[in-house]
Amino acid sequence: MKTEAPVVFDFPCGASPSILRVARRELRTLRSVSSVILNLAGCNSLNARDIDLLLECLASAVGRDTQVILVAGSRSIRVLLEVTRIASLVPMTRWIRRWPAPA
């Protein structure tokens, strides 16, 4: 059963390989959520390993029917996501919107 509230995942930009392995494990635990917000707002750039992890995450989400929203705070990240056409695969925004708390 999938949960309704989106889960925010702070993307580990420019991280070491060991941190990326931890991030991959964390992403695998998100199988029971209906939507994931990948927060790239803290990133100034993306290297090849970052893009690889991002694509892996998107492919995994599609396979589980999970909605993914990208938060790309900086202009350089937004441009990179548009040039690589990743932005055409999933919705992208500049900030995380606050959802109302359940009553």
Q: Kindly report, residue by residue over 40-95, the tens digit of the pLDDT.
A: 988 888 989 899 889 988 888 877 888 888 998 889 999 999 999 999 989 998 87
Q: What is the pLDDT, as a whole number, of residue 21? A: 84
HSE (side-chain half, CA atoms, 13 Å) at 89: 16
Q: What is the pLDDT, as a whole number, of residue 101? A: 47
Position 102 pLDDT exceeds 70? no
Q: What is the pLDDT, as a whole number, of residue 36? A: 87
- What is the average pLDDT value for the chain, to the nearest integer? 83
Q: What is the pLDDT, as a whole number, of residue 103? A: 47
Domains of the chain with bracketed CATH: 7-93 (3.30.750.24)
* Residue 16: partners with Cβ closer than 8 Å, 6 or more residues away: none
Q: Kindly report, residue by residue over 43-54, the tens digit of the pLDDT.
A: 888 989 899 889
Q: What is the pLDDT, as a whole number, of residue 32? A: 75
| 71 and 93 Cβ atoms separated by less than 8 Å | yes
Average pLDDT of span 26-48? 85
